[in-house]
Amino acid sequence: MAARTVFFVSDQTGVTAETMGHSLLTQFDGAQFRAVTLPFVASVDKVDEAVRRVNAAAEDSGVRPIVFSTLVQEDLRDRLKCANALFLDFFEAFVGPMEQELGMRSSHRSGRAHGIADSVGYATRIDATNFALANDDGSHRDYARADLVLVGVSRSGKTPTCLYLAMQYGVYAANYPLTDSDLESARLPAGLQACRSKLFGLRIAPQRLQQIRQERRPNSRYASPQQVQFETRAADAIFQRNGIAVLDTTECSIEEISARILEATGVERRIRP
């Protein structure tokens, strides 16, 4: 099956169109898609250029592209609808019914989702991200200020999860990697004793962990089956012995890991996406 071209068209960065569009595309197993993002389509000239690109893709492939649009202005949306494509408009699908339900017209202003009108929220996001970077891999250990401290073996997903929690929700997340000495002692590291209530463990299947490590350091002791088996078993023992809540990250995206951690811990989101 030939790949179907999919356009994500936005008057801003395109993040919303990409996120929502990709969520829908993942429901169609076996289908192949070629993604094209067209950000900052905020003028008639930009829309007309987008229409030309969509029509050219339709002509080249012989099948209609799919267009996911988050254009806010109606006149620009109407021009984009003229393209030879399946047109899926997120704003038209949701804003109209909301206007009817609320009995008021929306502002139809672009840039609201990812702007910095909320200066407090923006500052919180930046500060939380700086905190995650400073407290990555046990390097700083400002755990008194942390909302969460993620614990696990190397490459179990701690760092990207901390950064996602910071950037998306303003959560102050630190992480601590269990080292060989920690695992051999089978005890909770001394540096974590004072923040036990903030600890959350990340577990990963040995086979998947070995694959990740092999890509990072091929044919090393770090990536050997014996080392991986030892670390995952010892980490599980520490989690169980100390009553640390654990999430298996083997088949989870960073978004899912973050959402599940917040649900399990009850940590408050300081900002909303």
pLDDT digits (tens, 9 = 90+) for 34-70: 999 999 999 999 999 999 999 999 999 999 999 999 9
- For residues 123-143, average pLDDT: 89
Name the pLDDT band for 93 (thresholds 50, 70, 90).
confident
Structure tokens of 180? Answer: 């060989």
Question: Which residue type, as a one-letter code, is found at position 142?
Answer: D
Q: Is 24 helix (H, G, I), strand (E, B) or coil?
A: helix
Q: Is 62 helix (H, G, I), strand (E, B) or coil?
A: coil
Q: Give CA–CA dist 246/263, Å, rounded.
A: 13
pLDDT category at 111 given cuts 50, 70, 90 is: low
Rg (CA), the chain: 23
Q: Give 249-263 pLDDT, tens digit per residue.
A: 999 999 999 999 999
Burial class (CB within 10 angstroms; exposed 0-12, middle 13-18, buried 19+) of 51: buried
